[in-house]
Amino acid sequence: MPQPPLQPVAITGLGVIGACGRGLAAMERALREGREGVGRLDLWPSTIGDLPVGQYRSDLDADLDSVPGLTPHLRKRLSRSDALALVAAAEAVEQAGLSSLQATGAYVGQSVCGTLTSEALYIEARNRAKAGNPEKLDLRGAFVHEGANTLDRMAEAFGLRGPTLSFMTACSSAANAIGLAADAIRAGRAEVMLAGGADSLSRIAFNGFCSLKVVSPDGPRPFDRERQGMMVGEGAGMLVLESAARAKARGVKVLAWLSGYGHSCDAHHLTAPHPEGKGAIAAMREALEMAGLQPSDIGYINAHGTATLDNDRTEARAISGVFGDGAVPVSSTKRFFGHTLAAAGGIEAVVSVWALRHKLLPANLGLRAPLEDAKLDLVAENRGAPGLRHVLSNSFGFGGNNAALVFTEAE
DSSP 192-229: EEEEEEEE---HHHHHHHHHTT-B-TT---TTBTT---
Query: Annotated catalytic, 171?
Result: yes
Please indicate, yes or no, if residue 118 is contained in any of the structural domains: yes
Please indicate, yes or no, if residue 3 is contained in any of the structural domains: no
Please indicate, yes or no, if residue 42 is contained in any of the structural domains: yes
Tell me, what's the pLDDT at 142? 86
What confidence tens digit (pLDDT) does each residue in 349-377 have? 999 999 999 999 999 999 999 999 889 99
| Measured torsion, CA atoms of residues 161, 162, 164, 169, in degrees rounded to the nearest 10 | -160
Out of 263, 274, 304, 390, which one is annotated catalytic?
304
**Are 153 and 171 spatial neighbours (Cβ–Cβ below 8 Å)?**
no
| Measured torsion, CA atoms of residues 284, 219, 177, 67, in degrees rounded to the nearest 10 | -150
- Could you give the CA distance from residue 196 to residue 330 in angstroms, rounded to a whole number? 22
For 323, the domain range is 9-409
**What is the dihedral sign for C-alpha 302, 304, 307, 309?**
negative
- Could you give the CA distance from residue 365 to residue 379 in angstroms, rounded to a whole number? 9
Closest CA to 382 of 343, 336, 345, 339: 336
Which helix H or strand E contains 271, and what residues bound it?
Answer: none
Out of 113, 263, 274, 339, which one is annotated catalytic?
339
* DSSP label at residue 69: T
**Are 326 and 375 spatial neighbours (Cβ–Cβ below 8 Å)?**
yes
Tell me, what's the pLDDT at 270? 64
DSSP 330-361: EE--HHHH-B-GGGHHHHHHHHHHHHHHHTEE
- Could you give the CA distance from residue 215 to residue 231 in angstroms, rounded to a whole number? 6
What confidence tens digit (pLDDT) does each residue in 122-165 have? 999 999 999 999 888 888 888 899 888 999 999 999 999 999 99
**List of E strands, 117-223:** 164-167, 192-199
Partners of residue 239 on adjacent β-strands: 14, 195
Out of 171, 263, 274, 390, which one is annotated catalytic?
171
Buried residues in 110-129 as b, exposed as e (16+ CB within 10 A): bbbbbbbbbeebeeeeeeee
Query: Annotated catalytic, 304?
Result: yes
pLDDT under 70: residue ranges of the chain: 1-4, 268-272, 274
Q: Is 249 exposed, middle or buried (0-12, 13-18, 19+ CB in 10 A)?
A: exposed
Domains contained in the chain, number: 1
Closest CA to 112 of 200, 4, 207: 200
Please indicate, yes or no, if residue 286 is contained in any of the structural domains: yes
Please indicate, yes or no, if residue 396 is contained in any of the structural domains: yes
Please indicate, yes or no, if residue 2 is contained in any of the structural domains: no
Amino acid at 327: A
Tell me, what's the pLDDT at 1? 44
Pairing of strands 329-331, 300-302: parallel
* Full-model pTM: 0.96
Please indicate, yes or no, if residue 4 is contained in any of the structural domains: no
Tell me, what's the pLDDT at 140? 83
CATH number at residue 187: 3.40.47.10
Please indicate, yes or no, if residue 33 is contained in any of the structural domains: yes
Query: Annotated catalytic, 20?
Result: no
